[in-house]
Amino acid sequence: MRIGIFGAGGQGRELVQPLRESLTGQADGAQLVFIDDNATEAILPVLRLSGMSAGDRFLCAVGNGRRRQEIERRCLDAGLQPFSFFAASSYVADTVEVGPGAIFTQNTVATADARIGRQFLCGVYAYVSHDCVIGDYVTLAPRASINGNIHIRDFAYVGSGAVIRQGTPDKPLVIGEGATVGCGAVVLGDVPPGATVVGNPARALK
């Protein structure tokens, strides 16, 4: 069996060492490769998607959620299966539900009773706190801080160092579908679908 990292760019290269470490000593002898129709040289063997076999696994190492959705569709159509990766230094509580294809990189955290959709990408030192609901194809850049009772809709992107204030059980704070939270933003209220917010406190870009 092969495990293909789709995309030989920066995000993909960052996954190589922790993936290698997690696979060391496994009896099935999985081979780690890049899937990339354009790259020709990399630190791993590079295959086109057509060179993979049904039953092989894939990870979407791409920061854009809509692009991950497209990649996932292509891989599933080719008979590949999504592979979820949890770095050794990550912590995901037993009560957290995680959809297929999630990537939890080094020193990431998801705590009590969070629910996380498919193809989630969690950058280094990012965390998801209790009772959050995260949609599909959501991206948390490094050190994004998602406090308790926050709902993040599909395709949202939360930038590096952003902090989202905690909601409440009866009124969770909502980041709308396709919204972008800028790097270092401090979000104190709901973000509409498709909006981009920046600053402290975060305000929408016109």
Q: How many residues are recorded in the chain?
A: 206
Is the bond preceding 201 in cis, omega lying within 30 degrees of 0?
Answer: yes
Q: Is the pLDDT of residue 91 over 70?
A: yes
Domain at 2-82: CATH code: 3.40.50.20
**Residue where the block lists tokens 């050190």:** 143
**Residue where the block lists tokens 């704070």:** 173
Name the band, by pLDDT with cuts 50, 70 and 90, for residue 23: confident
pLDDT in tens, 163-175: 999 999 999 999 9
φ, ψ of residue 53 to 5 degrees: the values are -115, 150
Domain ranges of the chain: 2-82, 84-198
pLDDT of residue 58: 98
Q: Residues 84-198: name the CATH superfamily.
A: Hexapeptide repeat proteins (2.160.10.10)
Q: What is the mean pLDDT of the chain?
A: 95
Question: What number is the average pLDDT over the span 23-38?
Answer: 81
Q: Is-catalytic flag, 130?
A: yes
- Pick the catalytic residue: 13, 130, 165, 203? 130
